[in-house]
Amino acid sequence: MILNKLLNNVKIIEVFGDLNININNIHFDSRKVEENDLFITLIGTNQDGHSYIDKAINLGAKVIVCSKKPEVLIDKITYILNHDNHTTLAIMSSNYYDNPSQKIKLIGVTGTNGKTSVVNLLHQLFTSLNYKCGMISTIENIIDTERSESSHTTPDSLQINALLHKMVKSGCLYCFMEVSSHAIDQKRISCLNFTLGVFTNISHDHLDYHKSFESYLSVKKSFFDNLNKNSYALVNKDDKHALVMLQNSEAYHYTYSLKSVSDFKCKIIENDFNGMLLSIDNNDVWVKLVGEFNAYNMLAVYSIAILLEEESKEILKGVSLLSSTKGRFQSFKSNNGVIAILDYAHTDDALNNVISTINLIRNKNQQLITVFGCGGDRDKLKRPKMTKVACHLSSRVILTSDNPRSEDLENILSDMVFGLENEYLKKTITIHDRKQAIKTAFALAKEGDIILVAGKGHEKFQEIKGEKNPFDDEEEILKLLNININ
């Protein structure tokens, strides 16, 4: 692409060199640069891309986009100076892939909990309605029938636009996309044209990154601030911060709820481990998913489909066939009646939702054994809160490893029990090895008991001291269920 065209809508401070040259590719990772590529410098938490300008030029870069002018300018290299390279990368990425978000109906879902489930359920529903669809999520990215594992909840802007471009070429009409707070803050979704933006809920999370809840809230709100006047903003009105999201949004405003007056309503009529009977806008529908949080997810999916002009009867028929997302309240049952539930819950709010759902269904003779840990190098404030929730609402609690990353596991476990009252501390067992912790839960469980394994969900690894070691909660549960069966 000609550099001038690539820079369309980019706010440039100064140019040194020729803009009428052809560019092969855009990179912000200098290791990927090849002949006639453009290298853009990004300043991150740990690295400054300006340090890699010489390396990029040596590998063949012909254009350098930077926010600090290099001391030495090399002949036949074009230098472009601007203030906000994260936004510039997003604009150039969109231009490079011919602005694909304008050629597809892009639905973005943000919130602390529920993003993955809503996006996956939407993809299931619209595929069943015979649409070609794409999906960008924590678990996987999908382009029509092509699937690939994802490495981030929301990829970088180059990857997003590359995926959207492939979806457009494949004839996809819709793309359902998770929108993380990191992605919003780092301008990864800048310049994307969203048809519809969805807010599920917000609670304390990622404060290691955002530093305060107010900052986290503000970042989420900015997603809705930037929706255009032709798009829709749909929010969960039962969350006390929902209407804040709509305050400065030019989009058409819609709400959904279980407990408030809203545009779209739902009521739980029956709820057990096999599913729920819901009343959605006064229509009864049996769904395979369990729990109030899934009632919210189902209602969000229904509301989105209505706003996208699908027929109510067809939506409800499709909703009744939807299955749970991998690692989200997945349940398994052994021959002796022990029920194991696998869930990604990794905040105190999510853990509270899952355990409360189980407690509404289980009887007084069924004990609940909860196994969970907390991630290292992440928000430390939620650790004791999660333990308190688990201990208050469970019969027994096994504290174990999650993804310790570079942190010492002993320090994480110490944070988890900080301030915990003795009566609840007596409920806990600490087992460092996660595999052994799950095995112990099964050993403690009697006929009819329930085991909740929380925190990692779909993940197939444990990150310890910089290494990703293969580990899959579901695999461990199934092995133990086979032991019970045999």
What are the extents of the domains in the chain? 3-96, 100-319, 330-485
User: What's the rounded Cα separation, in Å, for the pair 477 and 330?
Assistant: 11
Q: CB neighbours (10 Å) of residue 160?
A: 27
What is the model's pLDDT at position 165?
Answer: 98
Average confidence (pLDDT) per 10 residues, the chain, 486 residues: 96 96 96 97 88 97 96 95 95 98 98 93 98 95 93 87 98 97 93 97 67 87 96 97 96 98 97 94 96 95 98 97 90 89 92 94 94 94 95 97 95 96 96 97 95 94 92 94 55
Query: Residue 9 carries which side chain, given as an amino acid letter?
Result: N
What is the model's pLDDT at position 204?
Answer: 63
What is the model's pLDDT at position 229?
Answer: 96
CATH architecture assignment, domain 330-485: Alpha-Beta Complex (3.90)
- H/E segment holding residue 63: strand 63-66
User: What's the rounded Cα separation, in Å, for the pair 91 and 482?
Assistant: 52
What is the model's pLDDT at position 486?
Answer: 38
What is the model's pLDDT at position 444?
Answer: 96
What is the model's pLDDT at position 209?
Answer: 62
What is the model's pLDDT at position 484?
Answer: 43
What is the model's pLDDT at position 485?
Answer: 39
What is the model's pLDDT at position 80?
Answer: 97
What is the model's pLDDT at position 161?
Answer: 98
What is the model's pLDDT at position 370?
Answer: 98
Question: Which homologous superfamily does the CATH classification assign to the domain defined by 100-319?
Answer: Mur-like, catalytic domain (3.40.1190.10)
As a whole number of angstroms, the longest Cα–Cα distance in the chain is 79
User: What's the rounded Cα separation, in Å, for the pair 275 and 118?
Assistant: 17
User: What DSSP state is assigned to residue 208?
Assistant: H
What is the model's pLDDT at position 150?
Answer: 81
Q: CB neighbours (10 Å) of residue 20?
A: 8
Q: Which tokens belong to 130?
A: 């015979």
pLDDT digits (tens, 9 = 90+) for 116-152: 999 999 999 999 999 999 999 988 999 999 999 887 7
Fold designation for 3-96: 3.40.1390
What is the model's pLDDT at position 379?
Answer: 86
